[in-house]
Structure 1
């Protein structure tokens, strides 16, 4: 290992390397292509930094002045890319390396100027790096190493084409390293296409995957999912916790709920801008926020300090996502907890996820309110504040408190202030308890409320109004039947006296709607629908009346229909006899001058228009208006083709095809 790198590790407090770091720095594989699978949080970033250092530095310990990039590190997300940039910056700080980044969401002009000034290592996201290559703003001719960090995630996010484009434009003589938590078939094919005799390194096994993470599966009832999340956060009181959701809508909803309960929470989803996401992560790092609610896409590869708790508010879709979520905690030797919130409908899915990931979780009920309170007492009594002596500046007020109040009063005040700083836990129902059927309503009294469906009355509006004005609970109200003009309400007999006292003798509700007590339960039986007269199967045809004169056409009225008597249909029109003498026609040449001969017999001639006025079409007996006459002939324009289509004939059909002209001579 280079001395400059060893000094940087010692300054950072590293006394030993992790398994993946020792594997990639093996002297026997220096400079070779690597395909590494290691769990998240195992120190992969530092590992590939040490692996590419010999090829970048050569025989020296420091870099030459910066020019074209010597190494590319490609990460799936902006957050992970910026995290990698920070890690490589301190690792290569003593070598004089210039580390820059090109990631989406940043100003591309600033990145172009940084590349023009020169850089030794460029950390990038696939899409932005491809843009720079296509624009010619980055020179890859001096490239010696390419690193794909979280390669499986980049394929899942749809960056396959971008990665192939980048690798094809990189020099053929280079070192290619692929780091991934898992190596599915897609990663293996990519490695086979763009690596040469790659050394396979696997530092994970199904049995020891994420050994520093304690997996908990909490059974909750269907309606207690969010309450269970609150209790889990309160039970562990982790310095940093992340809650994973599947959708942005769930992120917004849960963020609002936790904020209203007093948690210092930030949201992280794809709809946020780069500036907003950066501020959210910085708030987690500096302690201004303790809970981050995020989607999978937004939280890819982020590393938060003291992240001791991961909660799966909604179960992921596959085991790889589950491992990546859980891998946010238990990093670099720290212990962590991965908690699954499992309602009854998701029990089988949770078992399948754990089975596919080859993990064993401890199943139990979610922490109850009593368990959270007991945990608070343990933390309060174990606080080091009890054993630290008072500061000299505080001794006067401490003496005054002891002389003024008793020990019980001081302890009571301390306990009250301690609880005010923490959100109260939620009461959870039994996850295994089946929903109880509603008890019989019992004796009841019916009331009639003025106003029904005609004025927009609905049970969801009537119920809260009755509870508010009548001072009753929703359990005291039975059926609500909305009729056309009135609303019928069933009230428990025991609550009638209090209800009437709250309503008052005027018996009116909001808007002056009158309320009337009914002496007997109303009847909701519908009146039988009147039977429709049977339609006769056969009907004698009506005698045809002589059509001496056609009646005047009837005026049409929009929105009304007129029944049609199909027995009074007009007689079909007589067809014209075929053959016979045709009337004389004027002829018009289509091409050139007319040739001698009888009208209509010469070549290039075609009857076009009748010389005499054509007899008008007789109106039908019912006076139906005559429809539009369809155009005749071959369409010569879009307008004619449209008319033919509207007339019910396909465009370009129905016209006599033109005969081919004979060549002259």
Structure 2
């Protein structure tokens, strides 16, 4: 944690927290120091003023305003009196954040006898009404549910001393401005008003001017400087391997909890099912889930039964998951604010975290602009390979604390029985197999940046090899091939004539050498988009801005129909025009796309014949 004010009981360093009950609660919780925002709100100069605070996500804002209004509610007392009308009201944008605030206050105010009630959407209204009727010192809730209780006369805010708007910018983004204004207008005018927000846009400043009096501005965010506890990784992936890259990143990272962000509910559903099928302990969070399902999913993450949470941006607002060490952006964020908000779920309260963006090659420019606009620095890299993951697994096994523990007397008998009937090598091999059986298998991935890393010269030679093979003798076009592989290939091809003797149709795909196009990932992409097999695909020509490829004429109509039905518009595939067909097409049994002469016929790329001596071109008549 940031060391700004020490929480010690020595006379040399007195506690900055003025209420002894809260100071003891912090010490019991293991706080050795306050974060910058917590230290700022307990300074003596603050007094009983209103506060307008901007601080990074995960900087300890909940404890900060809990400390800030303690003197307002308790004065010099260490315990509250009987609970009647609420004295403090905390408004949060989401159910999860409101419930998190309630849990934080329960331990922070444990020795004060405070009664804390929550009013959030999706929970039992009658139970909340009974809690309010019995009396509460502090009420925490979401704007819509608080307004409902207020309008129905269940919530009496006439005795409020403090109102806190937590993550006020998100509440305005979610459309709660009208609810907030109604609640603030109904509360006493002499109250303290505290606004806590990660950012201070114009709307927040306007709201502060309208409802605050002589507010003290506290800004603990260092402008143009990224969150020091979050390391950003931009991972290059092929467009059709994003899901596989999520698998490898999860396998490579050794963290207790991971949050994976997707753009839509369907994406969350699909990725969650895929991860569960591979053996990951994963849960999902999206707007279509009931409150009970959301609570069960979050509880599974908190108690360690699940280690991966797949969520949308809306479902993950305000989440504070313990030991969250990794955030994966399976779909790129829509803007810099979303990137920072997602990434801010990790690297909280002084812990280190990693934010990994999976960047398909065709979205690299957008990712670079996004990272620059967010003011962070990202380390570009390829996806973890299967060999790297296996090496990491071996290291984890060798460093497992279980191997260092001495056997208990109860285990000693079984140890001797195993050693008596089996060799140490057999026992070690069984241990390795048991460890591997519990881990999902890593995926073999292609790194689109490998060609770029080799430099333009090597990249050019690599692409040119496809042209060299076109002119090489047939016997030299393939590398060494085993008898078994040759037999399997002949069996797959069956009685079909070689591709060189079949009629072919040219198509065009809108990616080329500039975007690291490579047949290794273009081939499976073409198969998936056009519902064809690799045996129905002919030559692939990588050009500067796009690429051309052949489809067997018998499958061309089916291929074109599948393209029209595809909803993937990131990479456009269409029939090639006559001008797009490479030189030499239409020969050796490979006719070009059929059509009327002059329109669909291929261009003649042959070198023009030399003119005879004395030839004079005919002058054009005007």
- TM-score (normalised: structure 2): 0.72
1:167-219 CA-to-partner distances (Å, cap 9, x unmatched) read: 11111111000111111111111111111111110111135442111111111
Q: What's the counterpart of residue 132 of structure 2?
A: 115
SS of the residue corresponding to residue 15 of structure 1 reads: coil
Q: CA deviation at 1:407?
A: 3.2
Q: Does 1:442 align with 2:516?
A: no
Q: CA deviation at 1:478?
A: 3.4
1:611-647 CA-to-partner distances (Å, cap 9, x unmatched) read: xxxxxxxxxxxxxxxxxxxxxxxxxxxxxxxxxxxxx
Q: Does 1:425 align with 2:442?
A: yes
SS of the residue corresponding to residue 263 of structure 1 reads: coil
Which sits farther off after the overlay, 381-390 or 122-131? 381-390
Match of 1:338 among 344, 355, 366: 355
Please say which structure displays the higher CA radius of gyration: 1
Q: What's the counterpart of residue 146 of structure 1?
A: 163
Q: CA deviation at 1:23?
A: 0.2
Q: What's the counterpart of residue 124 of structure 1?
A: 141
Which sits farther off after the overlay, 73-82 or 26-35? 26-35
Q: Does 1:374 align with 2:374?
A: no
SS of the residue corresponding to residue 206 of structure 1 reads: coil
Ranges in structure 2 where 5+ consecutive residues have no aligned partner: 1-17, 452-458, 471-497, 504-526, 539-550, 559-588, 598-622
Q: What's the counterpart of residue 651 of structure 1?
A: none
Match of 2:425 among 402, 408, 412: 408
Q: What's the counterpart of residue 292 of structure 2?
A: 275
Distance 1:328 1:123 in 2: 21
Q: CA deviation at 1:235?
A: 0.5
SS of the residue corresponding to residue 166 of structure 1 reads: helix
Q: What's the counterpart of residue 361 of structure 1?
A: 378
Write out aligned runs for 1:183-262 (5 A).
Answer: 183-262=200-279
Q: CA deviation at 1:400?
A: 2.9
Contact 2:230–2:346, Cα closer than 8 Å, also in 1: yes
Match of 1:8 among 19, 25, 28: 25
Q: What's the counterpart of residue 177 of structure 2?
A: 160
1:277-310 CA-to-partner distances (Å, cap 9, x unmatched) read: 0000001011111100001111111111111111
Q: CA deviation at 1:524?
A: 10
Contact 1:39–1:209, Cα closer than 8 Å, also in 2: no
Distance 1:39 1:166 in 2: 26
Write out aligned runs for 1:28-39 (5 A).
Answer: 28-39=45-56
Distance 1:525 1:19 in 2: 72
Q: 1:521 to 1:5 in 2, by over 3 A?
A: closer
Distance 1:352 1:521 in 2: 44
Q: CA deviation at 1:127?
A: 0.8
Q: What's the counterpart of residue 604 of structure 1?
A: none
Distance 1:76 1:136 in 2: 22
Q: What's the counterpart of residue 170 of structure 1?
A: 187
Q: What's the counterpart of residue 515 of structure 1?
A: none
Contact 1:319–1:354, Cα closer than 8 Å, also in 2: yes
Q: 1:525 to 1:14 in 2, by over 3 A?
A: closer
Q: CA deviation at 1:412?
A: 2.1
Write out aligned runs for 1:633-644 (5 A).
Answer: none
Ranges in structure 1 where 5+ consecutive residues have no aligned partner: 447-459, 485-519, 529-665
Distance 2:158 2:164 in 1: 16
Q: 1:523 to 1:319 in 2, by over 3 A?
A: closer
Higher relative contact order (CA 8 A, sep 6+): 2
Write out aligned runs for 1:24-63 (5 A).
Answer: 24-63=41-80
Distance 2:327 2:592 in 1: 57
Q: What's the counterpart of residue 104 of structure 2?
A: 87
Q: What's the counterpart of residue 642 of structure 1?
A: none
Match of 2:369 among 352, 355, 362: 352
